[in-house]
Amino acid sequence: MDDEEEEISCPKCSLTLQTPFILCKQCPGLVKICTQCFSKGAEFGIHENDHAYTIVRDDFPIFENSWSAEEEVLLLKVMADCGYGNWQDVAQRMRVRSKNEVEKHYNKVYINQPHVELPQFPEADLQRFPCPVVYKLCDDPPRYPDSSQIFQLMGGYMAGRGDFNVEHDNFMELELRAIDFNESPAQEKDYLEERLKFEVLDVYQNCISDRCWRKRIIRKYGLINIRKHRLDHGMYPTKFKELLDLLRPFTRLCNPEGFDKYTQALNLQFELKRSIHKLIECRENGITKQRSVKIFKVLKSRRNEMKSRRHLLDDILIHMKDETSCQTWLQKQAVLETMSKGAANLPLPSAPRRSAPPMDIVGLPGYERLSKKERELCAGVRLVPEAYLEFREILVGECKRNGFLRLQQARTLIKIDVNKTRKLYDFLVSQGLITKEPG
């Protein structure tokens, strides 16, 4: 074993490989990839992300269950540096093993039993495929009756002779029946007409080639097998099926396996986006634990069901809880009934404006500096304590400079709602902090 092992880097991200990493089984030269690039489906050179691969790791035991393969390799490397008998130095280099553990394990495995067989790892268990595609080019389709709808969906394909009942450009042969190259000796040879005949034959030859190309596409992709397409179509969600139908014309641009892998990748992207949107919805609703998502879905379904059952009677019952609102609603109904009988247009009574509830200012900055009456004022007019202290200082300072303070001046100094300014002004006057204009 060399003193210094050559560091191997990932060919995609150039980072030093650490176990576990991925070893490609199909590319020549033992291509090794880190797990991050492998999870992203990295491709480079002749390596593709659907190649068979092996996971290279060293976290399994070899001789003893308490010693991993990584520790065995490190032990042999350290012993080559420190030498036999320097167990204290070896233990310090190992870091996770004591002096007695190192000595006992090395003597047992490499001195007393030097010919212990290594465990066998079958190659079949180590080879994996990231994206297996089960696909048959064209299964033998069932022979449906000619009058059935499925037979029409199969494009008139006749499984007995492996051909179609109606060809592409089916009446092309009718254009050739009038062409005759056997001319009588008395007729003069017309080169333009002869060239036109050959052009018609070229068009027919292109038609024959087009027919063969279409048949090859249909056979290669198994498009005549309706049962297979129904099974493949049913494995995807409903919203993705609409996109899949739009992609059907592009099947001719790639091979069948490539198109299947492309649709599988699109479906995976669709599922990931849907999962991300669900997580965003949960986070917006304050769900931060995975175990709470199930409860949130149940409550959301119940809430949607309750919304679907709501009707106008629910709105009436809401008004019935408030006596004033109930009277207003009854007056509206009476006016509407009177208007429906041909009476003059009457103004509809409006519902009284509800006053805003007091604001909870407990714990806000400046709350401790307020008196009991000042706290009641701030909660009633919905004013934060810091803003109240600032406005009080401005109004009291202006009153000291002029000897009095008018309400109009207070409204000019503080730019808030006029009703709040009036309540604040009256409160400061009642508390003796400011005085009105004399006279």
Distances (CA, A) of 138 to 90, 156, 232, 246: 64, 16, 14, 22
**Closest Cα to residue 26, out of 53, 57, 45?**
53
With contact defined as beta carbons under 8 Å apart, do 221 and 213 qualify? no
Segment 214-224 mean pLDDT:
71
Most confident of 127-141, 168-182, 269-283, 299-313: 269-283
pLDDT at site 90: 84
C-alpha–C-alpha distance, residues 52 and 180, integer Å? 61
pLDDT at site 348: 53
The owner of tokens 């200012």 is 361
C-alpha–C-alpha distance, residues 218 and 259, integer Å? 14
- Name the pairing type of β-strands 32-33 and 21-24: antiparallel
pLDDT in tens, 160-199: 566 777 777 888 888 787 787 776 555 556 778 888 888 8
CATH 1.10.40.60 at 367-430, yes or no: no
The owner of tokens 């050739």 is 176
Q: Where are the domains of the chain?
A: 21-126, 149-181+190-266, 367-430
Reported in sequence order, the residue ranges of 117-249 that DSSP labels E, i.e. its strands, are 157-158, 163-164
Q: Which tokens go with 346?
A: 């009457």
Confidence of residue 341 (pLDDT cuts 50, 70, 90): low
Q: Which tokens go with 380?
A: 């009633």
With contact defined as beta carbons under 8 Å apart, do 366 and 389 qualify? yes
Q: Which tokens go with 302?
A: 């119940």
How many residues appear in the chain?
439
Kindly tell me if the per-residue pLDDT of 274 is higher than 80. yes
With contact defined as beta carbons under 8 Å apart, do 109 and 116 qualify? yes
Distances (CA, A) of 128 to 26, 51, 269: 11, 9, 22
Which segment of 3-7, 187-191, 352-356, 361-365 scores lowest on mean pLDDT?
3-7
Segment 265-289 mean pLDDT:
87
Question: Running DSSP on this structure, what letter comes out for residue 117?
Answer: P
pLDDT at site 222: 64
Partnered with residue 128 across adjacent β-strands are 53
- H or E, element range at 273: helix 256-284
Q: DSSP labels for 288-319?
A: -STHHHHHHHHHHHHHHHHHHH--HHHHHHHH
pLDDT at site 74: 82
With contact defined as beta carbons under 8 Å apart, do 19 and 58 qualify? yes
Q: Omega of the bond prior to 358 within 30 degrees of 0, cis? A: no
Where is pLDDT greater, at 264 or 320? Answer: 264
Segment 414-421 mean pLDDT:
85
- H or E, element range at 199: helix 191-220
pLDDT at site 99: 82
Which segment of 29-43, 145-159, 311-325 scores lowest on mean pLDDT?
311-325
> To the nearest whole number, what is the mean pLDDT of the chain?
76
Distance, C-alpha 277 to centroid of its chain:
6
With contact defined as beta carbons under 8 Å apart, do 351 and 328 qualify? yes
Where is pLDDT greater, at 387 or 343? Answer: 387
Q: DSSP labels for 335-366?
A: HHHHHHTTPPP-PPPPPPPPPPPPP--TTSTT
pLDDT in tens, 124-174: 444 554 443 333 444 455 666 767 776 666 666 666 566 777 777 888 888
C-alpha–C-alpha distance, residues 136 and 242, integer Å? 24
Kindly tell me if the per-residue pLDDT of 409 is higher than 70. yes
Which segment of 63-72, 119-128, 375-384, 414-423 scores lowest on mean pLDDT?
119-128
C-alpha–C-alpha distance, residues 155 and 97, integer Å? 73
pLDDT in tens, 82-93: 888 788 888 888
Give residue 68's identity as a one-letter amino acid code. Answer: S
